[in-house]
Amino acid sequence: MELALELKPVSLIGFGDGAEAAAFTAINPATGQALEPKFFAASADDLERATSLAQAAFPIYSKLSGKEKGAFLRRIAAAIEAAAPAIIQRANLETALPEARLQGEVGRTCNQLRLFAEVVEEGSWVDARIDNADPNRKPLPKPSIRSMHHPLGPVAVFGASNFPLAFSVAGGDTASALAAGNPVIVKAHPAHPGTSALVGHAIRESVRASGLPEGVFSLLFDAGVEVGIRLVKHPAIKAVAFTGSFAGGTALMKLAAARPEPIPCYSEMGSVNPVFVLPGALSERGSAVATGLQASFTLGAGQFCTKPGLVLVPQADGTPGFLKELGDRVHTTPPQTLLTKAIADRYTAAVKGRDATVLAQGAEAPAGSEAATVQASLFVADYKDLQENAELAQEIFGPTTVVVGYQDRKQLLAVAEQLEGHLTATLQADESELGDYADLIDILTRKVGRLILNAYPTGVEVCHAMVHGGPFPATSDGRSTSVGSQAIFRFTRLVCYQSFPDAALPDELKSSNPLGIMRLVDGERTRAASA
Amino acid sequence: MELALELKPVSLIGFGDGAEAAAFTAINPATGQALEPKFFAASADDLERATSLAQAAFPIYSKLSGKEKGAFLRRIAAAIEAAAPAIIQRANLETALPEARLQGEVGRTCNQLRLFAEVVEEGSWVDARIDNADPNRKPLPKPSIRSMHHPLGPVAVFGASNFPLAFSVAGGDTASALAAGNPVIVKAHPAHPGTSALVGHAIRESVRASGLPEGVFSLLFDAGVEVGIRLVKHPAIKAVAFTGSFAGGTALMKLAAARPEPIPCYSEMGSVNPVFVLPGALSERGSAVATGLQASFTLGAGQFCTKPGLVLVPQADGTPGFLKELGDRVHTTPPQTLLTKAIADRYTAAVKGRDATVLAQGAEAPAGSEAATVQASLFVADYKDLQENAELAQEIFGPTTVVVGYQDRKQLLAVAEQLEGHLTATLQADESELGDYADLIDILTRKVGRLILNAYPTGVEVCHAMVHGGPFPATSDGRSTSVGSQAIFRFTRLVCYQSFPDAALPDELKSSNPLGIMRLVDGERTRAASA
């Protein structure tokens, strides 16, 4: 079934329409067929208009109260929910992701928007700090100094292919950038332009209904990389957020660093998410671990950035049983349709080229099909193979993983120490053996953003404490997170005011604390007035 | 008088001595004479040893408790105070900064160390966050997620010429990096090697007395740039901090971004620190503003990164009197000795080359001297000059400033809007006129890290709310500050733990809150236990 989009298939430049420049279509990865309508890439003029509207909107939008920003974010969530049936139907055609998954992703997208609404409505997130004056201090009087986080300016967000909603037009990057007070210009992912358009219109209508300047949001289409490159190089843009490949993420990092005015670039570039199965866990519940692993590495057809792509398992009595169970489960895994034919072809080539033993494969994809359908693959190797073949510790995007056997604790620690930066590391362990492996936990703490015990890395909770980040090459900037409320700080900078009277200060910094937020006053956290 | 240093004039590689490679000497800028002893540049082997010691120290030092790190920082402060007479004497010879100023800088350096000691001893700085599990949540159970800031790894710190103590070997960058839990390798500024050696030994002895691994601190000498370049490119280094010139700061940014593993680089590169005199302030206290300005732009011979280098003054009845007062004060300013002959020569050439009217000059430097002594210079220009000659808004390091007359509010706002990023902007205003200039304050909030009312930008308070930073080109990373307790976050990254039991968690994240720190538990700030 084709969905007749009633929207003009052009970029959204504030409240206006983009040009009808170069045309492209989305492809249904389940059939290989082009999906109506044709979409049109943004023109150079569209980009200029979008950036100057964003620049004009910034002074107004950045001064909105937390309550006003919160209402705007909640309005976007409601507009997406209202359009959910159409969005899910179109996203299913464009991505081959099942409707239940997309339904969940709509929920997560709206939850993210509402979490940030909550954060800015409450208001303490700005980390207001007040150091009171002391005119009698010797040798010099102490001035009053008051600081808080301010927004950076217009942010460029790149939609991701693998999360057409939660990391795309109204995804986490957009939500956190808007929450911080920044206009957003999204470069839509070309694989799901219809989904992007539907969500883009939901945001545009929320901008309008909230009485905000149109430049708060624009959406640019392009089948290639030109529009994205021009966007990142544009002087009006003050930060970049991207989720996708290492090649794409590092290209944007270089562009952002090479500008006359370098800007922060947050690229989330995927990860192998190593899983360390400790001896106790293997012997006591090897079968359950095998079941959980298969479910995790094939979830969403293995297209999550948190997919476990490397599993360390002890060579012990339980190993053959564990491998048998895992192999059997992989063997019965149905064919998996990936997001695009190009991704499917890369997956198939990478799996074919992997220098390791294939332990099991899932059901074969139908021969001769134009669909982006592939076969799940399970590899096995040992410590020595991993030492000799660094490729085994590299990500293959799609439903595959490699199980590496280790002989002893020394090999296990060596593998951990040699890891690059990853988003996550997972321990499958008996709680009683954790003490014995404290050194492993220490090493992993230096390598990843999230450590998981006795669960699986897929599934990222959206909350205050979540860290979805990790040292390079997992991300461009391991200091931050792209999921959870702390993501807001990617798009802010500190500003302080010296000797300003209340009347000239933002509400967050006034002595009476009119917003009732938690502040650091002379080093103490308090909601009390400051003087 | 020459100071006989009783120290070996070589790099400090942990507890060991560096090689006696290429020799160089400090020059007394007040006389042009070389100062004994000769110092020796670090060898390639020294650098390898320093970095591998730092790498080895990191797993141990990063796990120290806040109390242990606090005791270490306080020990360094005490050791510097004990050596203060020798340090001040040597620094005076190497920098020509007066003893009173150096005495103040020792105080500030030790205050910084003790502020960070206080912060880590108290412990709440790690921003521990706990989102409790909810096994009954639908559709999926909610896991327990707990996050906090962790240190990055070994940090390279570059000593600054203009703060031989407070931004040098044991300066703000070293203090904040150590407080966060990172080993530090300092590249000493070649203009004050003796001062650096004395302070370096104070730190080394504190490392030893605290029973810490020697790799926590090393100090490298070099007259050129080779050692610094190799240090920033070394894979063991995880962050860079620098205070100095735009050329130096941007060179380090490029090196840090071009590494196979890019790392954060915090370059603080100076600023013009514009001062906006509003009509009310001019008419009511023009003379006081003239006095304050002259004191500020000649303070420390105009060698502060916060020196006001551009002053906007309304063309009004009070202007001639203001300029007369300011010119008279500049005219009687004695010759100023700068930090090095090279800096003095650059200053003299820049002042000579400035395309603006000289309103007044200070007393002339003695002719034919080898000293780094220069003449203070005051320029005047108008709005049109500033539009036509962007150089007038560029920093000249040393005792000079330019006063630019503006005709009306429109010109004033245009100047503000055209500013690049700066560390500070200052308003001289009647409180009653601030409301009328709210748009000016809004513009400046987007341009600087610190806004100052009715004071002068020189003099940076070391406190919790201070922001000493600002958008590029003032710094490489306008999101952060290099002064005040928030500087610690330059050297940390977020890590979270999912479903970990208390026994395997850092104390900061244990449910019982054994450290009694302030945490964000399910979105609420509290010192209570989490469950």
Do the Cβ atoms of B140 and A459 come within 8 Å? Answer: yes
Q: Is the peptide bond before A139 cis (omega within 30 degrees of 0)?
A: yes
Percent of chain B with pLDDT over 90: 96
A268 is catalytic: yes
The C-alpha of B407 sits at a distance from chain A's nearest C-alpha, in angstroms, of 24
Report the residue of A437, A461, A498, A521 to disrupt the B interface, i.e. the one with the largest count of B CBs within 10 Å: A498
Average pLDDT for B142-155: 98
List b or e across B320-345, with b for residues whose CB sees 16 or more CB atoms inside 10 angstroms: eebbebbbebbeebebbbbbbeebbe
Please report the pLDDT score of residue B315 as a whole number.
Answer: 96
Report the residue of A494, A508, A521 to disrupt the B interface, i.e. the one with the largest count of B CBs within 10 Å: A494
B5 pLDDT more than 80: no
pLDDT in tens, A460-517: 999 999 999 999 999 999 999 999 999 999 999 999 999 999 999 999 999 999 999 9
Backbone angles phi, psi at A39, to 5 degrees: -110, 155
Do the Cβ atoms of B466 and A493 come within 8 Å? Answer: no
- The count of residues in chain A is 531
The reply to whether B184 touches chain A by the CB within 8 Å rule is no
Average pLDDT for B308-315: 98
Compute the C-alpha angle A123/A126/A128, nearest 5°: 100
List b or e across B458-475, with b for residues whose CB sees 16 or more CB atoms inside 10 angstroms: bebbbbbbbbbbbbbbbb
Question: Which pTM was predicted?
Answer: 0.97
pLDDT in tens, A106-151: 999 999 999 999 999 999 999 999 999 999 998 889 999 999 999 9
B110 is catalytic: no
The reply to whether B16 touches chain A by the CB within 8 Å rule is no
Q: State the residue for tokens 């200052």.
A: B426
Nearest CA in chain A to B487: A494
| ipTM higher than threshold 0.95 | yes
* Residue B167 and residue B138 in contact, taking contact as beta carbons nearer than 8 Å: no
Average pLDDT for A156-178: 98
Average pLDDT for B90-115: 97
Determine the Cα–Cα distance for residues A153 and A60; give it in Å rounded to an integer.
11
Please report the pLDDT score of residue B3 as a whole number.
Answer: 47
The conformation of residue A193, written as its DSSP 8-state character, comes to H
The reply to whether A520 touches chain B by the CB within 8 Å rule is yes
Please report the pLDDT score of residue B232 as a whole number.
Answer: 98
Using 50, 70 and 90 to split pLDDT, how confident is the model at A7? Answer: confident
CB count in 10 Å sphere of residue A364: 10
pLDDT in tens, B339-380: 999 999 999 999 999 999 999 999 998 887 899 999 999 999
Using 50, 70 and 90 to split pLDDT, how confident is the model at B1? Answer: very low
What are residue A422's DSSP bridge partners? A448
Please report the pLDDT score of residue A366 as a whole number.
Answer: 84
Single-letter code of the amino acid located at B512: S
Determine the Cα–Cα distance for residues B22 and B372; give it in Å rounded to an integer.
25
Please report the pLDDT score of residue B202 as a whole number.
Answer: 97
For B74, the enclosing helix (H) or strand (E) is helix B66-82
List b or e across A324-342, with b for residues whose CB sees 16 or more CB atoms inside 10 angstroms: ebbbebbeebebbbbbbee
The reply to whether A528 touches chain B by the CB within 8 Å rule is no
Average pLDDT for A333-352: 96
The reply to whether B82 touches chain A by the CB within 8 Å rule is no
The reply to whether B497 touches chain A by the CB within 8 Å rule is yes
Do the Cβ atoms of B449 and A486 come within 8 Å? Answer: no
Percent of chain B with pLDDT over 70: 99
Which residue from A146, A435, A464 is facing B129, i.e. has the nearest CB? Answer: A464
A4 pLDDT more than 80: no
Please report the pLDDT score of residue B125 as a whole number.
Answer: 98
Please report the pLDDT score of residue B270 as a whole number.
Answer: 84
Do the Cβ atoms of A500 and B451 come within 8 Å? Answer: yes
Average pLDDT for B485-500: 98
Single-letter code of the amino acid located at B524: E
- The count of residues in chain B is 531
A323 pLDDT more than 90: yes
| Identified catalytic residue from B94, B105, B110, B305 | B305
Average pLDDT for A63-83: 98
B408 pLDDT more than 50: yes
The C-alpha of A26 sits at a distance from chain B's nearest C-alpha, in angstroms, of 32
Nearest CA in chain B to A128: B465
Do the Cβ atoms of A463 and B145 come within 8 Å? Answer: yes
Q: Which alpha helices (DSSP H) does A392-462 contain, by range?
A: 409-418, 438-445
